């Protein structure tokens, strides 16, 4: 399968993060091209490319940009670089390879939506990456790509870097906005959507790092070239993070629609130590687990994975080996979501608490086999009734594990109970 | 000392005007204070209100909401070990046991390490992963962990 590299085109290029390297390989040419165009033209091109948000939801990027009211005087662009979804490490890789690609994407996006101020919001645990990003921003200012009269135009775009402090919920776009306002990272009720009322009540576009980093290539090569890759409804390439007991874990850029098994067993080298595949989580911790039979012909695009009952999410492919107890993964999942729930909504706060309590009962030998069904029922009632999607993100994988591994989980409870053990 | 060190005051001041509102400076200012004094002390919150006009309530709610702020005295070397899905599958718990042994091997009160399990650190391709203060360590296992910890000396 032949396809151009977009996001990873600086792999194996020495000194890839430096501005000089980026410029040598055509860097900032797309921004130069775009700044002479009308914002509507830029939005139309990105719409036409079919680019969809890479933060998890897959929302069409150009369409989102077009929601900013034309009359708005102050507009903000925020890059969501919080990368907290367990199993995900692709945005980190973009900063490692080419922070300037992100800056250029943000200049283009800011011009398209009329933003004069943009922020990158990065999780604080990315210490090295934060430093690299800061260095790149400084270089870009010095070279006149940011600030007043950038690239010799009348435009003024400022870019700053904001650092989080350890809260998964700040990856949710309205939680991120709360955090940037200097508050607890609590999500806000939608509507109004951020595109209408976001940061400080002003129209705000939040995009994932990978989404924004793909934009310069699309501008340079055109919508048709982007659409030539991937599937009709999921065009372009995507970064997939393969992790778990495989020979070559890492980030792989592949066209959407790429076969999942090929990614795991060829590109990532297959399993280590003769382990067998037990299951795969295809799109981060929130994505329902899939069994080997379910991934036989599965392709990595939004539609195919949804049809298989899971989601492409952030593109985090977690490989689960045959000797991995599912009760342990379930325990980690429910504790994670319980810990990260911001507590505003009852179904999420209490629901994740109940899930965690029941699973805790397994260790304390108080759990009963019928608790597996109870977990499923609780999860069922946590969906679709909260301010943000964290509650759903906790419910979906819980439902899948308790349904697909009910027998194993019940056996674990039995073996661990006073009856069995 | 009844306020922040002068060089820190200067940094705090510039954060206050860096964003659209002073309130947005709360997270960055708390990072600065923590980097300077190792942990955020009740006095610091009071000084932020008295000397810099940042509401004590606003500061306190941020300080307690985010898990990376330390509100109590801490050890010189803080190990944050990822115990999330991938690191768990790759043996995190066993490595953490080894770290607990390492910590237990110091005479009472002399151990410079603390250990805490944390959610995914975004480096699952290097699982199991941990941070020691701001240093990232990947593919930490029972064989290499003692040597890594031995490189940290007070
Ligand atoms: C609980 C939760 C956590 C999220 N974490 C992230 C994250 O770490 N990074 C991210 O880009 N999007 C995250 N999202 C999705 C964002 O809310 C938002 O959809 C995304 O940043 C939009 O960018 P995109 O359109 O470019 O994908 C999260 C959503 C939820 C509900
Ligand atoms: S769903 Fe959960 S995390 Fe989201 S706002 Fe409600 S309580 Fe907070
Ligand atoms: S699960 Fe440990 S770094 Fe991601």
Q: How far is CA A227 from CA A61, A236, A240, A382, in A?
A: 14, 6, 19, 37
User: Which run of H or of E encompasses A221?
Assistant: helix A209-221
Domains and CATH numbers, chain B: 6-65 (1.10.10), 77-150 (3.40.30.10)
* Strands of the sheet with A237-243, listed across from one edge: A250-255, A237-243, A316-321, A277-281
Claim: this prediction has a pTM higher than 0.90: yes
Domains and CATH numbers, chain A: 19-227 (3.40.50.11540), 237-321 (3.10.20.600), 326-416 (1.20.1440.230)
Q: In chain A, what residues touch B23 (CB-CB under 8 Å)?
A: 181-183
Distance from CA of A49 to the nearest CA of B (A): 29
Q: Is A167 in the pocket of ligand 2 (CB under 6 A)?
A: no
Give the residues across from A237 on adjacent strands: A255
B interface residues, A as partner, C-beta within 8 Å: 18-21, 23-28, 30-31, 58, 61-62, 65-69, 80, 83-86, 88-90, 118-127, 131, 134, 136
Contact A165 B89 (CB under 8 A): no
Give the residues across from B80 on adjacent strands: B116, B131
Tens-digit pLDDT profile for chain B (154 aa)? 699 999 999 999 999 999 999 999 999 999 999 999 999 999 999 999 999 999 999 999 999 999 999 999 999 999 999 999 999 999 999 999 999 999 999 999 999 999 999 999 999 999 999 999 999 999 999 999 999 999 999 8
Give per-residue pLDDT as tens, A252-310.
999 999 999 999 999 999 999 999 999 999 999 999 999 999 999 999 999 999 999 99
Which of A217, A225, A261 is closest to A242 using CA atoms?
A261
Give per-residue pLDDT as tens, B3-33.
999 999 999 999 999 999 999 999 999 999 9
With bands split at pLDDT 50, 70 and 90, how would you rate the model's confidence at A418? low
Q: How high is the ipTM of this complex?
A: 0.97
Q: In chain A, what residues touch B80 (CB-CB under 8 Å)?
A: 125
User: Chains A, B: CB contacts under 8 A, how many?
Assistant: 136
Contact B19 A160 (CB under 8 A): yes
CA neighbours within 13 Å on the CB side: how many for B81? 26
Q: Of all atoms in ligand 1, which is nearest to the CA of residue A80?
A: 11
Ligand nearest to the CA of A89: 3
Torsion of CA B117, B119, B121, B122, to 10 degrees: 160
Nearest CA owner, ligand 1 atom 28: A172
Which of A123, A131, A128 is closest to B135 using CA atoms?
A128
Q: In whole angstroms, give the CA distance from residue B74 to residue B113.
A: 9
Which of B89, B72, B90, B92 is closest to B80 using CA atoms?
B92
Which of A80, A142, A102, A145 is closest to A16 using CA atoms?
A102
**DSSP 8-state secondary structure symbol assigned to residue A152:** G
Q: In whole angstroms, give the CA distance from residue B22 to residue A179.
A: 13
User: Measured over all CA atoms, what is the biggest interatomic distance in chain B, rounded to whole angstroms?
Assistant: 51
Q: In whole angstroms, give the CA distance from residue B45 to residue A249.
A: 44
CA of A328 to the centre of ligand 2 (A): 24
Kind of pairing, strands A204-208 and A299-300? unpaired
């Amino acid at each position: 399968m032949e396809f151009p590299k977009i996001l990873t085109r600086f792999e194996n290029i020495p000194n890839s993060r430096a501005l000089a390297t980026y410029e040598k390989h055509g860097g900032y040419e797309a921004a130069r091209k775009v700044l002479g165009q009308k914002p509507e033209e830029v939005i139309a091109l990105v719409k036409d490319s079919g680019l969809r948000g890479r933060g998890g939801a897959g929302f069409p990027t150009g369409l989102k940009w077009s929601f900013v009211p034309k009359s708005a005087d102050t507009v903000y662009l925020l890059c969501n670089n919080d990368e907290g979804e367990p199993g995900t490490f692709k945005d980190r890789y973009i900063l490692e390879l080419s922070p300037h690609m992100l800056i250029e994407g943000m200049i283009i996006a800011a011009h398209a939506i009329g933003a004069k101020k943009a922020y990158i919001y990065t999780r604080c645990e990315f210490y090295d990456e934060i430093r690299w990003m800061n260095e790149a921003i400084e270089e870009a200012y010095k070279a006149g790509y940011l600030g007043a009269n950038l690239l010799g135009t009348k435009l003024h775009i400022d870019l700053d870097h904001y650092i989080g402090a350890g809260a998964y919920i700040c990856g949710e776009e309205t939680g991120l906005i709360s955090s940037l306002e200097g508050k607890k990272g609590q999500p806000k009720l939608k509507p109004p959507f951020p595109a209408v009322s976001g940061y400080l009540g002003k129209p705000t576009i939040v995009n994932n790092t990978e989404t924004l980093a793909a934009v310069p290539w699309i501008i340079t090569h055109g919508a048709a070239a982007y659409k030539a890759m991937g599937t009709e409804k999921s065009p372009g390439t995507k970064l997939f993070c393969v992790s778990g007991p495989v020979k070559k874990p890492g980030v792989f850029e592949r066209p959407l629609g790429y076969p999942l098994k090929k990614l795991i067993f060829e590109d990532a080298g297959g399993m280590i130590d003769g382990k067998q595949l037990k299951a795969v989580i295809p799109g981060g911790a929130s994505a329902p687990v899939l069994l080997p039979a379910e991934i036989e012909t599965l392709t990595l695009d939004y539609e195919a994975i949804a049809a298989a009952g899971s989601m492409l999410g952030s593109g985090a492919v977690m490989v689960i080996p045959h000797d991995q107890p599912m009760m342990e993964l379930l325990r980690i999942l429910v504790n994670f979501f319980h810990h990260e729930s911001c507590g505003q909504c009852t179904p999420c706060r209490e629901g994740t608490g109940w899930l965690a309590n029941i699973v805790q009962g397994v260790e304390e030998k108080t759990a009963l086999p019928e608790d597996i069904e109870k977990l499923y029922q609780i999860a069922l009632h946590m969906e679709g009734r909260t301010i943000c999607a964290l509650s759903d993100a906790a419910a979906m994988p819980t439902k899948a594990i308790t349904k697909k591994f009910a027998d194993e989980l019940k056996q674990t409870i039995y073996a661990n109970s006073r009856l069995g053990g | 000392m009844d306020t922040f060190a002068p060089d820190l005051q200067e940094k705090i001041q510039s954060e206050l005007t860096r964003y659209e509102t002073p309130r947005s400076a709360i997270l960055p200012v708390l990072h600065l204070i923590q980097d300077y004094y190792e942990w955020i002390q009740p006095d610091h919150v009071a000084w932020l209100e008295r000397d810099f006009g940042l509401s004590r309530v606003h500061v306190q709610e941020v300080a307690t909401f985010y898990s990376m702020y330390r509100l109590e005295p801490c050890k010189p070397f803080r190990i944050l070990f990822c115990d999330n899905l991938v690191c768990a599958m790759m043996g995190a718990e066993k490595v953490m046991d080894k770290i607990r042994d390492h910590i237990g091997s110091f005479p009472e009160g002399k151990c410079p390490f603390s250990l805490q399990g944390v959610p995914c650190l975004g480096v699952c391709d290097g699982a199991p992963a941990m941070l020691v203060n701001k240093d990232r360590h990947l593919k930490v296992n029972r064989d290499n962990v003692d040597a890594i910890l031995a490189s940290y000396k007070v």
